[in-house]
Structure formats: structure tokens, C-alpha cells
Structure 1
């Protein structure tokens, strides 16, 4: 007997519900996917705790979730995409151009009017995929190798964000690297850096649990975020700033060597933020943004399949979808959790 199409829906600030959706009705270019796992992301938490993620404000109820994997139940009617029975990861971005607004070719993550699964950036909102069965565009689907478990593949999307951030840093082999903030993205950046041959990786966080995960994923040393003197002494060639707050960015600037590069992947709140710009100038630091990802998802899947990228230690908890409220509460506590998965 088929289970009800249970989903996780944010209705407003502090109003997260587990409810039953109608069965999906795919268009010709969409496949129906039976979702196996979904990873809870910071944006999902923000919609729950604030009713908004940055400047994306909830107006209507929103099905959350963009870090999902599953199996194709019904292939797209137009013949595109994987066949029924194929296990897949999902690339949740849909790029859209806007006349008169320039964006570079080959970098669809920078298209000015992109939509993302589980996002209230536009209205109508773009529902996510935290549901047992969803209809998704076939172009979003990436077939998974047989030797890659769906549980590990649940991290493909956030690992792609980390991979993109590391790629923005340029050549990392043999370099000294500092990672500020080892929540799921920072921890996965450590794993990607290890695979890329970084000579020494120092991870920084406020809490011991994320630092423990960072060590499991390849960090050679860890520091508490309040130890600013030790952070400044690292003198890293490359810094990955993934804390998403101005104090973390200050630590990134202090911890970079002269002429170093700081990649900012942690999304700070909108509006003006304090920053050590004068120090960045006199050290000739390169400050680089990193936003989502492009085709790196294919490289991540290949690296997971061949065993060169190890990310499983980043998963700390798994809950059935019926216990989504508890799962979200655990994910919100960065002192005790890494990546929290929902099992559908």
C-alpha cells in the first residue's frame, strides 16, 4: 500500500507543519521522484525560525527542501532525463535571465532571476522537495552510480556548494588553508580541501562537535573561534569563510597571509556589515564571493563514487519525516549536530 504523500511545509515564523499533499501531476518535461532522504539546510531553518531567509520572505505556505535524493517513479513523458527506477540526486537551480541585467555566460548560478527549490525569493514561491513524492524537471536529475548509497548521496547538494567554494580559491594543493565555521558547508569544504591536496587545514568554530566532525573529515588542526591570536597566527594562503557572520569574516581576514585569498561562502545578513577592509587592503587580500554551484554536482558524484571524497561523517542525525519538528530543532543546535537528514 502506498504511503500518504507526507511533506514538510513552512506556513509562517514558528509554524512548521507535517501535512499530506496531493499526488504530484508532472508536466511533459517532469519526472515523478520518490524521495528517500532530505538534508535540512540553513535556509530551511530560517524559514521556520524567522519566516524568511535573508530577503526571501514567506507570503504563502512553502514546501521546504532542496537537498534531496530519491528514485524515479515515472520518467518524463517527453523522453528526457533518467528512466524509471533510476536513483538520482537533484540540482535544485533553475536559471533565468533578465533583459538589461548582465551575467556571465557559463555561470548560471549568477543568473539574476534564478529560482531554487524550497525558496520564497519570488512569488509565487518555488516549492521544495521535502515530500514523499514530487514532480521535478528532468533536467534537474543526476543519475547516481550503483556503488553510491542514497544516504551518502543526500549530501551531494551541500557538497557541491563546498566544492564550488574551494574551486573559487584556485589551486589548493600544497597550500595552508583556514576554514572559518565548520557547520555542514564548512565541514564539507574541509573534505573537499583534503581531496584537493591541501597541505595543512585548520578549522575554526565556536563548538566542539563541529570541530570533531572537521577532524574526521581531514582537518589537521582545530581552533576555538574566540582564540583570535591563534587564528591570526595561521597565516593561511587560502581562507574559506563559511560562518556567515561578520566576526567570522574578521577572523578570515586576520588569519590570511599577506597576498592571500579569502573565499566568502557563508551568507551574511543583508545590509551593511562591519569588515576589516583596511587590513584587507594593506595585505592585498583577494576577497571572493561564492554562491551555490553549477556543474560541480557531477564532479562531486564522481568523487563520491570513486571514494576520493569522504563526507559521511558530516551526517550526525536521521529522523523519519513524521518527526520533522524534532529534526529541525536538532539541526538548529549547531553545538550538537552536523547535517540532519529526514528519511521519507
Structure 2
């Protein structure tokens, strides 16, 4: 699954930068900076994806991406699900046909780390609660906030691009992992949904109030999404459960809305009930058909993503022991035919055919499309 998380991150970055031809020269205006940067924009190949801003020909990467609180949380799928889900929230408030995306640049790495750390005399800015000294799982103060993410959105006015919106993601722990001594056994404090929601909203208000102190962030809408960080032993990432908006000049987040998202691994394990039996059965038929034809496969698994109980996306991983070009080409064609025959037609679908080390082929289908496309990776 670590390879899958890396593949998903690579694919996501590729989508953001898709179609970089026909770049338009302009400038980036920011009230906090006296100097303006020369800006070009990418042209996305899909209507539901953002065009991105490149400053002086370079893609800006966020300084806070990947930072986490001082906790033993270890689930590689969380980061990809966090970023992808936050992008979906951004699209609700900042349309892809009007706004341009840039990774966050207004929260510095040092600031983010202070916010993620516990509050203390040395760190009064900490958003996580002060350590009360207890090691009892029910009495200690857990780490609630695990990660932060910022996305910035610009609009074009003539040849200038102006900051016009921001989205902040707060990844809240489902379980806080800790040790009672260095290198000791791992213990856990479970965090209830009620605690996660209440404390998440309080943190959102504090973050927005702090951001409003920056002159160029006073008059833009700031959207905040609350994400449930999945547990360490899960093979999938977590999901967003609430988001709200702080309108221009407001120092609090209002108009909170519930988000009904679920992620599930197929085949289900530990007697878990499928979110939708029909969808799960379709995958089971696909899996059986593929494995019956090619019995030497290492495994066929899927990550299913639901929104309001409706299947939105499906990422299937097929681990093979094939290394010959002819074998991979033939198998890819067979899997594409099986996908057309057995898998649901509506959701976005990706099928990753890979060895333990490398991705060998990719089969994809857009949401609400019936047409699959495939590509076998080549090496010289």
C-alpha cells in the first residue's frame, strides 16, 4: 500500500500540471509583497480540474505539506486522501472555471509546526492541548490535530492574478498513538466523533483569526475542512466530515455543513459489512474472473470511495509476477475487457497493474464515462 500511496500522489500531481502548453504571461499581485512575480498558467485537460499558477516558470510547493504533530500515527494513505478530499471541498466554493490554484504559501513551516505542537509556556501558539502528565489512555490529553494543509486560489483581472480565496484542511485524529517511555510499547487514546467535531471547530476559528492578521488575508473567503485521520492499521485513508466558510472580514467559521464520505477496502475484512452489496459483488466478480484466468497473481484489492452512499471512485491494485512485455500487454488487455464487463459504469475507476517494486500498466475511466483507456509503461 505504500507503493499505491506514492502512485496516487504522482497521479494527482500529474493531473494538476496536465496540459502545460499555451502558457500565458502575467503577474501575481499580492498586497503583502512589494515585488510581483512573472506568472504563467497551465491549461488543464479536464473541466473539473484547476489550472495552476507557475511563478517565474516554477511550480510552488507548500512548505507545510507532510508536516505532522508529535504523534506515532503511521498510515501512508492518509496524506493522499487528505489532499484529494480537500481539493473536492475547494471545488464547492471556488469553481475550476474561474479560479486558479496554487499550493499554500501563507502558513510557513515554522508556524505550522508551532500550531501542530502542544500548547506550552514555550509554545503558546500550540493548538493541541497542554500535556497534563498522565499516561492513562482515558485521562491524558491526546493530540487532536495531526496535519494542516493550505490551498490558495486566484482570479485573473487583465494581466494580473489576485488572491481571492483560501482553503485550509485540518486532519483530526481518530486515535492518538503514544508511548509511555522512549522506544516503549505503543498505547492509544481513542477520540470520539463529538470531540473531534467540537475541537476541530474551535481550532478552525483560532486559525482563521490568526490568518486574518495578515493584511492580504483580511478580505478573502476562507474555507475550512475537517478530516478524520484513519487508524494506523487501515489500508485506506480517512475522510472529511465537516466544512465551513469564513466570509471576507469574518474572524470565525460559520455555515458548517456535514460531509458524508466513506472509504472502504475490498474484499472487506474482519466481517465488515460493505457500504453497498451490489458494488462489492461487482468487484468480487471482476476479481474472480481475473484470478481464474491468471492464477499466479499476488492479489487483487480495491479502495472504494463513497459520497452520500454513492460510489464515486474505485482504485484497484493488481499485484503481478509478470515481467515479460508480451505478458503485461496481454494481461492489460484482458483486465480492461473484464473491467468493462464487471465493474460499475458510473464511478471514476483506476486499475493499477504492478509488481512489488514498479507500476507496469494503468487502466482508467472518468466519472460517468463508459470508455476505459489503458497504457502499458515502457522502459528502454
TM-score, scaled relative to structure 1 = 0.27
Higher relative contact order (CA closer than 8 Å, sequence separation 6+) = 1
TM-score, scaled relative to structure 2 = 0.25
Structure number with larger C-alpha Rg: 2
